[in-house]
Amino acid sequence: MATHRPSPAQRAKAAIARIRRRYTHRASRRPPEQPRPNPVRIAVLEHDLLGIPPQPGTAAALAIALRRVATCIEHQPVDVTALTDPAPNAVCSGCGQHLLHTDGQWRPAAIPASSTRTGDSR
């Protein structure tokens, strides 16, 4: 009776499967990494909610100062486009700046301060 001998490709697949079983088993023993607190976000929340000013010269003080002048290092757009708007627009969740989507990028919009969402005639 002839014995079946696996091909080199089948032997390679079996070897890879053994290696994967060995290392995935080890990886599953590690506990998941706990999220670490963000001291800058905590300081900004203390300022916003409790009115506690951050220490001068810290990253939290810089974040609050940048928010006051309506600029941030990198805008984080939240889409607020209405059905009647001619182009996609958003508001930055970090600084509150109005943004327009042009040329594949979100760019700051020049919207007069007197215009409002309910009564503007764009």
Residue 88 lies in a domain: yes
Same domain, 55 and 77: no
**pLDDT score recorded for residue 117:** 45
Task: Report if pTM > 0.75.
Answer: no
As for how many domains the chain has, the answer is 2
Residue 68 is predicted with a pLDDT of: 66
Is the dihedral angle over the CA atoms 92, 113, 65, 54 positive or is it negative? negative
pLDDT level of residue 122 (50, 70, 90 thresholds): very low
From residue 110, alpha-carbon distances to 19, 98, 115, 117 in Å are: 59, 8, 11, 14
Whether residue 54 is found in the same domain as residue 83: no
In a domain, 4, yes or no: no
Q: pLDDT tens for residues 8-44?
A: 898 899 888 888 877 765 656 677 788 889 898 898 8
Q: Is 13 within the bounds of a domain?
A: no
Q: Does 92 map to a domain?
A: yes
The pLDDT, as a whole number, for residue 69 is 63
Distance, in Å, from the CA atom of 75 to the CA atom of 21, rounded to the nearest integer, reads 44
How does pLDDT run across 37-83, given as a tens digit for each residue?
989 889 888 988 898 999 999 988 888 877 766 566 777 888 888 88
